[in-house]
Amino acid sequence: MGDFQLEGLCKKVVELSEEVGQFIMVERSRFEREDIEYKGTNDMVSYVDKTSEKMIVEKLSDFLPEAGFIAEEGTGTRNEGGYNWIIDPLDGTTNFIHGIPTFAISIALAKGEELLLGVVHEPNRKESFYAWKGGGAYLNGNKIKTSPEPELSRGLIATGFPYQNFQLMEGYMNALQHLMQACHGLRRIGAAAIDLAYVAAGRFEGFFEYDLKPWDVAAGGLIVKEAGGVVTNFYGGDEFIFKGQIIASCQGVTEELTDLIKNNFKGI
């Protein structure tokens, strides 16, 4: 697949995410709490997630018939070693359910563990962040870059609170205590895809979280990389999609943020 084809495919995925985003916003206006289903402790889903995923899978199957799917709600079949779409049809379901206007659609294409394109669409602000390998990163058609800030003390850092795995709380709280004193502040939006998109756009200098799934990080991770940022696991390794942990940052804060996480999350 050449660069020109990849760019065209990426733009089709952007259009699809915007269509699905319109559906989600219509459903948000009439969503009721009794529509919630529980997959596990604090792990919620609704007909909106499921319907959105079906809409996405159906269209993506037309775009690239040979690709499989790694999707949060289990639609489609994974293509081992080949092309796979990695999909979160509604990242930030808890925000959606509680009426907090911060949630997104996240779609990535990978071949094995090589990310080829990523799209994060946030329908409340009508913002589409996207990138394809080697093509740079964009927001609504305009090229974006990570923050130029040279050090952590001048940065705003995002994270996600654990909601199921509480075994690492001591290290997590120690890291938060340090960051509260070492940077401009901490933010917890509640949707990792948006956190990553905001790092790519220079709104955050860094983001870290553990206990994540591939669909939480694949699209946003590529967008950060194409925007000039650094994306690793908690030990500075390149593999983050299936690792369950991620650090994404602009160049200027990477070393300090990575050292902090390494020191506080040993052995995971």
Q: Which residue numbers belong to the known binding site for Mg(2+)?
A: 72, 88, 90-91, 216
CB neighbour class for 179 (10 Å; exposed up to 12, middle 13-18, buried from 19): buried
Binding site listing: 72, 88, 90-91, 216
Q: What's the CA gap between 254 and 229, in Å, rounded?
A: 9
Phi, psi of 244 (to 5 degrees): 85, 10
CA-angle at 197, arms to 195 and 203, nearest 5°: 75
Amino acid at 212: L
Helix (H) or strand (E) holding 230: strand 230-232
157, 206, 208, 161: which is closest to 183 by C-alpha?
157
Assign 60 to helix, strand or coil: helix
CA dihedral 151, 176, 223, 63 (to 10 degrees): 180
Other Cβ atoms closer than 10 A to 222: 29
